Amino acid sequence: MDAVCNPLCANGGECVGPNLCSCPEGYAGSDCKTAMCVNGCMHGFCSSPGVCTCITGYEGSMCDIAKCDPPCVHGDCSDPGICTCMDKWSGVDCSEETYVCGQSGCHHGECIGDNLCDCQAGYTGDYCEDTVCEPSCSPGGMCVAPGVCECDAYHEGTHCQVQIISVDGSPVDKLEQSLLENMGLCTMNGKHFRSFDGTHYTFPGECTYVMASDCSEIGSTSFQILVNTVYDCSGSLCRCAVHIRSELLNIAILPDDIVTINDRPIEIPHSINDVIITQSGTYTILEGLNGVKITYDGMDSVAITVDSSYMGNMCGLCGDYNGNKTDDFSMRPYKYHEIAKSVEEFGNVMKETGVACNPVEHISYPCISVAFEDLEYMRGYCHQLENLEAFKACNAYVNPAPYMDRCLYDMCDCNIAGGDQVQCACNAFTEYSRVCALHGIVLSWRSDKFCGR
């Protein structure tokens, strides 16, 4: 009897015993149905003797070669669709040449050749590490961000182009001269101050500070004018309060037209001893205090004028009023014969005695973190102070440069805080026109479309 194989031997196999197939070359298994690929199929299966059928992404007789489409130009296809590039090549198919630019690449630009950087607008240098200020800030300052100059103590203006000349040299402008001869003017406008001697600086202190006081002798003052910069705050906007202390009177000028004398609210207008307090629009005005006049706008601006008999005998954030800008950060009455090394040190020392507030640690310039394009727009906007016909009448009398600086500072500040930049510029314009008005130059510059009426 012939042997029986059930199932039958496939692929030409021979039934050599009961259910025992002898398979031809290339096949295996009890019924000779399994095709054999001698070297195996790594990413596929053996579909017929010696023939691998590969899964998607692989090729080759053993399905051991990953497929990349497009093929890798300068590299190996390490996995399906993934090229591993040789040195200096990159891209999906390793066809893009890569370059090395220094140790840390191009700081503000793209590496387009070995040690060749294509810099973004506002940057220059081998590795785009230097900022561009055009015109340059030198020799009066340093370019600290694209288009942003930080001036040294002897220069001011958007490009540090205005040299601050002490009074033994010649005064900066005509107004300074007339001021020095007749009276001292000190202003606070938000974070910005102008000392009696004309030094402009920014101090964002949140506390009560001595703004101006007479201090001809150690420990002896006949009056003190203090300002609380954070009297009434909503969000980042604060209204300030002004306190005037003399031997007999303790007067507080507060927002919303409120004035108290020795803690009692009074009706305005009011006079007591020689002091007269009046209201003009939003302004509260105090006059007759030993030749001192104080004007408060109901928000965050305070102007103090003192007559020239106080020359050299003042102290506080408004400075000493000796006609010399270079010693305006004198720390008397707290530290005699010492000049503060920084605005921070100066401002902090002028804090009202006995009041606990956080000192100002480091004043950072807000424009550093503003995009170059935004900054260009802001600068253009602020330059209206010298470009707009309406302001020009005052330009020869009040140097607009420090107010353009303030304008830019405040616009940057508002840009970062997400506030209304244009409104912030308007504050600087308002302050400029106020200083002009204090000296008889009344500008008509507001309109419905420009800073409102």
| Residues at the contact surface with Ca ion, assessed by CB under 5 A | 197, 319-320, 322, 324, 327-328
**199 and 179 in contact (C-beta within 8 Å)?**
no
Dihedral over Cα of 70, 76, 79, 83: its sign:
negative
How far apart are alpha carbons 342 and 219 in whole angstroms?
Answer: 24
Q: Are 155 and 141 in contact (CB under 8 A)?
A: yes
Euclidean distance between CA atoms 63 and 408, whole angstroms: 67
Nearest-CB residue for Ca ion: 197
SS3 349: helix
d(CA 350, CA 328): 13
Distance CA 287, CA 236 (A): 31
Q: What is the largest CA-CA distance in the chain?
A: 145
DSSP E strands in 36-79: the ranges are 44-48, 51-54, 58-59, 65-66, 75-79
Long-range contacts of 156-164 (CB under 8 A, 24+ apart): 156/200, 156/401, 156/402, 156/405, 157/401, 157/402, 157/404, 157/405, 158/379, 158/382, 158/383, 158/401, 158/404, 158/405, 158/408, 159/133, 159/135, 161/135, 161/401, 162/399, 162/401, 164/199, 164/325
Q: Answer yes or no: are the C-beta atoms of 116 and 128 closer than 8 Å.
A: no
For residues 36 and 165, which CB has a smaller minimum distance to Ca ion in the complex? Answer: 165
- C-beta of residue 154 within 8 angstroms of C-beta of residue 142: no
Q: How far is the CB of 284 from Ca ion (least distance, A)?
A: 28
Query: Are 46 and 28 in contact, with CB atoms under 8 Å apart?
Result: no
Tokens 């008889």 found at:
440
Q: Is 396 exposed, middle or buried (0-12, 13-18, 19+ CB in 10 A)?
A: exposed
Measured from the CB atom, is 214 or 320 closer to Ca ion?
A: 320
CB of 152 to Ca ion, least distance (A): 18
Q: Where are the beta strands (DSSP E) in 114-180?
A: 116-119, 123-124, 130-131, 141-145, 148-151, 155-156, 162-163
Least Å distance, CB 160 to Ca ion, is 21
Whether residue 278 contacts residue 268, with contact meaning beta carbons closer than 8 Å, is answered with yes
